[in-house]
Amino acid sequence: MRHAFLGFSVSAVLAGLASACTFSSPAGSCFAGNTSEGFITCALSMAPVVQPSSHTRTIVYEAPGRLRVEHGQACVQVPQAASNSQFAFRIQQSETFPSEYADSATIIMNGWKLRYLNTDHHVQGFGSSIVNVREARVDGGLQLQWEAGGVIADKNGDDPYEWCYSFTLVGWRRSGFDAVAFERNLSYIKAADPGNVSAVHAIDGSARNVYGVGAVLPQGFAMMWGDQTDRHVLQAGFDLGQHYGSGTGQISWTTRALFKDNDVVNDFYIGQLVSTMSYSAPEQYHPAEVLLDTGDGYIPQQNRVNLTPLDGDSSCSAVGDSTPSLVSYRVDVPYVYAVPVLAGWELGYVCTDHHVRQIGAAIVDWRFEPRADGLGGSLYYTIEQALGDDSDNINYARVSIDVLGLKPLAQ
């Protein structure tokens, strides 16, 4: 038995763990003797390296002797998701922080968008991830290095597509913040579970934690139908979940994912990648409400995604404008230094399932304004959210954020 589609690293992991298949792609050799974590490292390292078609990066704010925070986006266009000789792609990026600002650093995947380039299609699977994150000491500072990539494909995997991702870089000096990027590239898999009566799956994760509750930060996800078919999409969603202490030196969390068409349930695989921060400086805060910028003032909005499966109604028609939308928010936080983290998203069509031309959710721009009294500040952030086909069937979108707060050792 052979899979028709071998997607980006996590999707490939999920398909491969479900059955002892031999892939025609060279990534098949990565299955031998590897755990899911080992497979991800192996398989992505075999993907071809390409150059971004576009790339931007800006300094959001910085404090000499303490930290520098940057935000960026990159996009890649590729001719297909998979072939017999290769699968997906990877880009290799880095950032060098001057020693004045950082001797430690981490990266957060703060959003993604995928788009078929020719026309809308069915979907077999999609995902976006940052992997192989590592630090290197270089002349004059610290270099953070990483690889990243993403995929969307129907069962043939032969359609050209564009992948874009948003990322936030946080670099800090250990003399100013008691913090360390403790675990990187942690991978958790929820295999297909035939007979599951829900279109929502849950993944339990845990990690070592040396001191304090710490923070769990997203680095990627992937989801794919369990029977290797492709389908319309009605809803897709992901919620990182809140973490908690689960014993000495341990933190745990439960991530939820939603993926469905008009059927009550079709089984699917889901995977996630995360990193953690530890020690006393990092805190993760989930505000119950954020403030939506209406242009005429800010209106409180619940900061959550429901991930409630809906019934598709093929007799309903809601045609209008399905182009990506930009939505801006503000949230007031009790930190001197703060970073927004895209922790959850839910994208769906209003009436019934459809083809997909584009799908995604990303923080595309943000800034932090500290209060003059040093007792906190306000995060302003803009989300791009998209789900659409070529017929302009109307979508809905929900997102939620966490706030990564960093407490300095001394004011």
Instruction: Return the pLDDT at 357.
Output: 97
Instruction: Return the pLDDT at 30.
Output: 52
The neighbour count for residue 364, using CB atoms within 10 Å, is 18
Contact by Cβ (8 Å): 24, 2:
yes
Contact by Cβ (8 Å): 328, 94:
no
Instruction: Return the pLDDT at 185.
Output: 78
Instruction: Return the pLDDT at 41.
Output: 54
Contact by Cβ (8 Å): 305, 398:
yes
Instruction: Return the pLDDT at 318.
Output: 76
Ranges of residues in the chain whose predicted pLDDT is under 50: 1-28, 31-35, 37-38
Contact by Cβ (8 Å): 218, 239:
no
Cα–Cα–Cα angle for 385, 128, 288, nearest 5°? 50
Instruction: Return the pLDDT at 42.
Output: 60
Please measure the distance between the N-terminal and C-terminal CA atoms of the chain and give it in whole angstroms.
62
Beta pairing partners, 75: 54, 164
Distance CA 73, CA 404 (A): 19
Instruction: Return the pLDDT at 197.
Output: 83
The neighbour count for residue 61, using CB atoms within 10 Å, is 15
Instruction: Return the pLDDT at 411.
Output: 53
